[in-house]
């Protein structure tokens, strides 16, 4: 215990010089240069375990925390920094005489900079075959405590949690010997976000083990900003795109932009929809999106033929559209896309052949503006969670992404479904789930030829889809996302020459609808599954 003496507090708004730093990092990226810089400005470094050995291997001196506290690391390093001499040095208020007197009496050194990052829990649990014991050992205890303590006392203490923060801190120390209050506040905010996300990742892991399919009682959405956008849906709205930490699946957010202007808010929405539709087909498939609804789509053994059929689904609406592919865009496909009269805003695909990129970025008038987004290998995403924010809260559900089970389908009419219609019925039923309700799609030769979306009346959606298809409606099949409440839609389909309907069934007037189909010689399948998309 040091001798008793009078202690004077520092002024509230004084920026304290950084004289001592505590460094304990799992991620050593950039650490050596940072520590060398701190040492060159006379900063005394305290460190622990593996970090101290790493510094020593590079000739950087540091004081062992165990030597300073007089308490050894224990339990394979589980306990090393959790000591009053460490936490009082961080939490002590520099403008509080009582705090300073206590620190002096107990020979506690003020710590001005805390440099800590956490055990890689998320990376560990993401590994294939990781055991529960391995996961639990990666739950950091001392690290979050040090970070929270430093962030709480940010009026005096600087906290660094990411290598990207080192240069700003080092620059401030080089120039002034201390950091500014505004920088410390920003770093504190980032520190609390880090510990919040870290705890949420641990919670998610334990919930996945114990809750099964049950939706959680509490939910925290963890997002990190990837890019700020020029504006949102309209120029007066601010916007940014955020990424789920450590997400790796093929998606717009994780895509590599091969060419083109900056993506807009609406581009991203449409690209996401285009990819969501295309990825669910096993056959080579192309989707054409306009205002977040499909105006064309097609499957074909040759991706170029699929692209041609998809664009011909509604050529007028396809002008200025966004395209989604579930196969590599090859040279033949690129030649289809740049035919005269076409204008394409953006294309998302697993990959692009070099020749295709050359054609798309040199031949058409829109070559400089088209966005080409490469996502890599596509896989169907099952068991996704859908979150929609509403005033005061959010609606959470399992996404409607599960495969269709045609073994549950049943023909309910006297007219049987012909074998030649099966592919079109499967194609139409997969597409209708992606169209805004009330949703009607017409398909022929595994191509979308008419869409009725978002109407308040189902028969209005039927009329729009038939009008879009024109003469092509003759011999096509029709899919409805929900049941027909009245026979009027059947009558409209019969006049257009539609040969088969597929719908969930379940209306009180199902018998009337079935009777109407029998009268007009139309086959109808009940799937037992509804595909509303509001």
Catalytic position from the list 28, 261, 291, 363: 291
Largest CA distance in the chain: 104
Distance CA 492, CA 485 (A): 14
Which segments of 62-180 does DSSP mark as H helices, in order? 65-69, 84-91, 97-105, 121-126, 132-137, 142-152, 166-176
Phi, psi of 201 (to 5 degrees): -60, -40
Q: Are 54 and 78 in contact (CB under 8 A)?
A: no
Distance CA 500, CA 433 (A): 18
Alpha-carbon distances, residue 178 vs 8, 170, 384 (angstroms)? 20, 9, 47
* Known catalytic membership, residue 236: no
* Known catalytic membership, residue 383: no
3-state secondary structure of 366: coil
286-308 per-residue burial string, b: 16 or more CB within 10 A, e: under 16: bbbbbebbbbbbbbbeebbbbbb
Contacts (Cβ under 8 Å, ≥6 apart) of 167 = none
DSSP-assigned letters across all residues of 485-520 = SSTHHHHHHHHHT--EEEE----TTHHHHHHHHHHH
3-state secondary structure of 169: helix
DSSP-assigned letters across all residues of 273-290 = HHHHHHHT-SS-EEEEEE
Alpha-carbon distances, residue 449 vs 162, 167, 315 (angstroms)? 52, 57, 10
Bridge partners of 31?
none
Closest CA to 471 of 497, 439, 493, 448: 497
Distance CA 157, CA 114 (A): 8
Closest CA to 461 of 492, 418, 502, 420: 492
> Which structure tokens are listed for 486?
């009245």
Closest CA to 321 of 343, 336, 299, 352: 343
Catalytic position from the list 152, 259, 363, 445: 152
Reported as type and span, the H/E element at residue 426 is helix 422-432
- Would you give the distance in Å from CA 518 to the centre of its chain? 47
Residues recognised as catalytic: 152, 291
């Amino acid at each position: 215990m040091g001798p008793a003496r009078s202690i004077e507090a520092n002024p509230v708004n004084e920026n304290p010089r950084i004289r001592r730093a505590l460094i304990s990092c799992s991620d050593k990226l950039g650490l050596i240069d940072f520590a060398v810089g701190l040492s060159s400005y006379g900063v005394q470094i305290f460190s622990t375990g593996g970090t101290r050995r790493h510094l020593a291997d590079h000739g950087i001196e540091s004081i062992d925390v165990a030597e300073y506290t007089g308490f050894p690391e224990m339990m394979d390093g589980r306990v090393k920094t959790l000591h009053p001499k460490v936490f009082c040095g961080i939490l002590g208020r520099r403008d509080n005489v009582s705090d300073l007197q206590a620190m002096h009496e107990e020979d506690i050194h003020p710590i001005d900079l805390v440099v800590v990052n956490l055990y890689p829990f998320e990376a560990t649990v993401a590994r294939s075959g990781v055991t529960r014991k391995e996961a639990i050992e990666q739950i950091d205890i001392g690290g979050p405590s040090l970070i929270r303590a430093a962030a709480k006392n940010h009026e005096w203490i600087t906290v660094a949690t990411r290598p990207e923060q080192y240069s700003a801190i080092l620059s401030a120390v080089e120039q002034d010997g201390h950091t500014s209050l505004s920088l410390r506040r920003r770093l504190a905010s980032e520190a609390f976000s880090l510990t919040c996300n870290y705890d949420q990742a641990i919670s998610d892991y334990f919930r996945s083990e114990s809750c099964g399919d049950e939706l959680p009682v509490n939910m925290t959405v963890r997002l990190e900003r990837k890019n700020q956008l020029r504006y949102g849906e309209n120029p007066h709205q601010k916007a940014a795109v955020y990424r789920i930490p450590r997400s790796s699946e093929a998606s717009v957010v994780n895509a590599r932009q091969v060419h083109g202007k900056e993506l807009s808010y609406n581009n991203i929405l449409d690209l996401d929809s285009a990819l969501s539709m295309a990825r669910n087909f096993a056959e080579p498939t192309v989707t054409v999106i306009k205002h977040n609804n499909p105006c064309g789509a097609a499957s074909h053994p040759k991706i170029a033929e699929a692209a041609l059929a998809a664009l011909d689904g509604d050529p007028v609406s396809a002008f200025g559209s966004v395209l989604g592919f579930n196969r590599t865009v090859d040279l033949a496909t690129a030649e289809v896309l740049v035919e005269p009269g076409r204008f394409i805003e953006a294309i998302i695909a697993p990959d692009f052949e070099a020749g295709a990129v050359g054609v798309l970025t040199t031949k058409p008038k829109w070559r400089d503006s088209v966005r080409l987004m490469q996502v890599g290998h596509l896989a169907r995403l099952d068991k996704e969670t859908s979150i929609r924010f509403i005033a005061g809260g959010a609606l959470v559900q399992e996404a409607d992404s599960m495969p269709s089970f045609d073994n549950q389908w049943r023909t309910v009419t006297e007219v049987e479904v012909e074998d030649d219609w099966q592919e079109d019925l499967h194609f139409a039923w997969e597409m209708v789930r992606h169209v805004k309700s009330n949703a009607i799609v017409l398909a022929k030769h595994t191509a979308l030829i008419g869409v009725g979306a978002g109407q308040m009346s189902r028969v209005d959606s039927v009329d729009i889809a038939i009008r879009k298809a024109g003469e092509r409606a003759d011999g096509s099949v029709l899919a409805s996302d929900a049941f027909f409440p009245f026979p009027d839609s059947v009558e409209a389909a019969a006049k257009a020459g539609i040969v088969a309907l597929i719908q969930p069934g379940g209306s009180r007037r199902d018998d009337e609808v079935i009777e109407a189909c029998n009268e007009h010689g139309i086959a109808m399948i009940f799937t037992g599954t509804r595909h509303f998309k509001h």
